[in-house]
Amino acid sequence: MRLSELKNGQSAIIMKVNGYGGFRKRIMEMGFVRGKTVTPVLNAPLNDPIKYDIMGYEVSLRKSEAAMIEVFTEDDAAMAANSMNNGVTEENDMEKAYLKNGRNISIALVGNPNCGKTSLFNHLSGGHEHVGNYSGVTVESKNGSFKYKGYRFTVTDLPGTYALSAYSPEELYVRKHIIEKDPDVIINVVAASNIERNLYLTTELIDISHSLIIALNMYDELEASGAKLDYDQLGKMLGVPAIPIVAKNGKGLKELLDTVINVYEGKDDRVRHIHINHSSVIEQEIKNISSEMKASDDLPKYFPPRYWAIKLLEHDKEVSKLLSQCKNHEKWEIMADKASKNVERLLNEDIETALTDEKYGFISGALQETYVPAKQTANKKNSLIDRIVTHKWLGFPIFLLLMWLMFWATFNIGAYPQAWIEAGVAWLGDRLSGIMSDGMLKDLLVDGIIGGVGSVLVFLPQILILYLFISLMEDSGYMARAAFIMDKLMHKMGLHGKSFIPLIMGFGCNVPAIMATRTIESRSSRLITILINPFMSCSARLPVFIVLAGTFFPKQAGTALFLLYLLGAAVAVLTAKLLRRFVFGKDETPFVMELPPYRIPTAMATLRHMWDRSEQYLKKIGGVILIASIAVWFLSYFPRHDVPATMETPETVVETAGIAVAAGTDDRAPSSAATADGQENGEQYSYLDMLGRGIEPVLRPLGLNWKAGVALVAGIPAKEVVASTLGVLYNSEEEGAGLSGKLAASGDFTLPSAVAFMIFILLYCPCIATVSAIAHEAGSWKWGAFSVIYNTVVAWITAFIGMAATSLIV
């Protein structure tokens, strides 16, 4: 609660004084410090200012100033009392509750991409956020909590950003978080191995005059390179404590947390506020504007006037919008516009360039006194690898080779543990079948749950291998190089290199891949990348691809998978060109992306990444796939049709797993003479049979029958359900071991129809979660609807072409 919200006579304890340095210092000097009791006494005739009783005397504050002070009220104490003593209140409950709640510290992790924020977050909070060695892994904030030395820490991992401007969504997000959430302490994570570039963001954080600590991450790399840094002296020069850490193994984190506590408690004598001084020309303009702002009562108090003045000089649109409610806003804008022109005239360069150059000049001066760089040969290893993997002629073959190797290993190496799990699932089904009496419950457990869920569970090893390769490429730094070599191709698609990272991430899951497009500055390029991402086959489609490829391409299954994924990429390229040509205009957004140093991925990070993905997969198996399998079994089992004993002859209806089929008949769809209850000429259909036969005419040109149609419809909520549905539908087949063998024994698929089925699954409408992500990130459900319709139409046309081409070849 804010102090300005208290009613006269209502006492509260001060929890926190927000705001920037000078303002905050003045308020605290007046007695408004944490732990003191304050009571509003009297309002002025116009309700502003307000007189407060604190420490035995009375102080007057404006409402805007009181709004910057957070307090702990009797209502808060009562809520805490309920949890502490079952609702029994005592006179000193407010003090007790304050002492308990006053030891909460909120931290925001702010830093450049690739500086190790997420590694630090994972180590501190025990979180399992994926750590990738390229920009854009953290595309929104992640929250975690932990306890240390009697304090409860809440830590927020914010997106990687190079500044606090309004150029990219990450910059806006980070600045908005600092304004709205006002963390107690900001930890500026700085890559010690690339300190000069990383410190630019530090200068921006110094400008906002917030409680700040520098965490010099990857300090072991700096030492290994032969460089030397007097971090203590650097911290004193910046007025910010600088602590060396190695986030990946936890080195230095205790000292970092101790420093956080001391800064929070105001006990660290290294903390002091400095100004990043600019040239006399710029300083004079900043002084003129900030002086006008200081005289304004309605200027937001969370950042100092100097910061607002600098951002107006830089023509920061978001800051201008934020300050538009101030009565003198137009005057400030006019002053900033004149000042910018004056600086450009006197310095012969625009204001943004001048400010940036001078900040780097400040950084260079500070490092001259504290930093001894390593010899230039330190980057020889990176340069040698880069010359190979980004070579004009070798770059593309190397990338394609790695992709082929990934799919080859996914199929061939994963086949061994898959066979073991498949045997275990079959044993469990046989065991239950042997001990249970015939009936609906037995059919549900054996055919529905074990047949459906087991058919998806067996592909867990392949999922793990796929994510192993993706994790190794991301964490090693190769993925950023892949984006670099693909930039020219992306440009021909109407995109640029940054679009490549989300597309490759789509091989794992389309939802986080679509969210990762937030790092793309251009809205049109971001929208195109979002819309083509579902064509990059996610791991959910992998189970059915492995089944069909292993059945119909037993000797070239890995190559078949590779070609299938290439087809998805080719359709994405064509779609991007069409969207750029007919929907969006030309976009010449420059490609600016960091190429991080190569690093050897740690076993812990890789294993954690694989475990996180397998955990998600297992949760999905125990949730949506289990429910879908039961639903599919139910629809295939009902309605039940009683067959008179006199009709039980070889020519009458034979029921298998609840799907009634007339003996000696084929799977042709019922004619128009079919009755309403699903009977035709003696044939009796389940609900699933009727659904499948209703959509079969659409799929018949592709060589697919009603069972394939049912599997495709069932896969709309989640693509893994395609495999589980096939497992339920074909679990009753007498011949064949495993789903692959049962599909081969059924005779429902020929080689051309199998190709058409795989292509259709590859390209047709995304799952519900992906459609929702498209609508959310694109800002409209019309793009989600477009993806469903367009992708399905493209899937049918491409599958038909694939079937026809295969028929000609074979």
Give CA separation, 231 vs 564, 565, 769, in Å: 52, 49, 47
Residue with tokens 């007057």: 60
Beta bridge partners of 144: 155
Q: Is 219 one of the annotated binding-site residues? A: yes
Kindly compute the dihedral angle of the four CA atoms of residues 368, 369, 373, 375, in this order, to the nearest 10 degrees: 80
Residue with tokens 């009797």: 74
Give the three-state DSSP class for 242: strand
Q: Is 104 one of the annotated binding-site residues? A: no
User: Are the CB atoms for 132 and 501 separated by under 8 Å?
Assistant: no
Q: Give dist(CA 433, CA 436) in Å, integer.
A: 6
Q: Is 348 one of the annotated binding-site residues? A: no
Q: Is 31 one of the annotated binding-site residues? A: no
Q: Is 140 one of the annotated binding-site residues? A: yes
Q: Is 356 one of the annotated binding-site residues? A: no
Q: Which of 559, 530, 527 is nearest to 545 (CA)?
A: 559
Q: Is 114 one of the annotated binding-site residues? A: yes
Q: Is 111 one of the annotated binding-site residues? A: yes
Q: Is 183 one of the annotated binding-site residues? A: no
Q: Give dist(CA 229, CA 192) in Å, integer.
A: 9
Beta bridge partners of 413: none
The contacts found for 84-87 with CB under 8 angstroms, 24 or more apart, are: none
Q: Is 304 one of the annotated binding-site residues? A: no
Q: Is 30 one of the annotated binding-site residues? A: no
Q: Which of 154, 158, 126, 130 is nearest to 142 (CA)?
A: 158
Q: Is 112 one of the annotated binding-site residues? A: yes
Q: Is 473 one of the annotated binding-site residues? A: no
Q: Is 666 one of the annotated binding-site residues? A: no
DSSP 8-state symbol, 170: H
Q: Is 99 one of the annotated binding-site residues? A: no
Contacts of 764 (CB under 8 A, 6+ apart): 712, 791, 792, 795, 796
Contacts of 46 (CB under 8 A, 6+ apart): none
End-to-end Cα spacing for the chain:
74
Q: Is 217 one of the annotated binding-site residues? A: yes
Q: Give dist(CA 591, CA 525) in Å, integer.
A: 12
Q: Is 138 one of the annotated binding-site residues? A: yes
Q: Give dist(CA 225, CA 805) in Å, integer.
A: 57
Return left, alpha or beta for 371; rule: phi > 0 is left, psi -120 to 50 is alpha, else beta.
beta
Q: Is 750 one of the annotated binding-site residues? A: no
Q: Is 22 one of the annotated binding-site residues? A: no
Q: Which of 772, 714, 779 is nearest to 518 (CA)?
A: 779
Q: Is 327 one of the annotated binding-site residues? A: no
Report the binding-site residues for GTP. Answer: 111-118, 136-140, 157-160, 217-220
Report the binding-site residues. Answer: 111-118, 122, 125-126, 136-140, 157-160, 217-220
Report the binding-site residues for Mg(2+). Answer: 122, 125-126
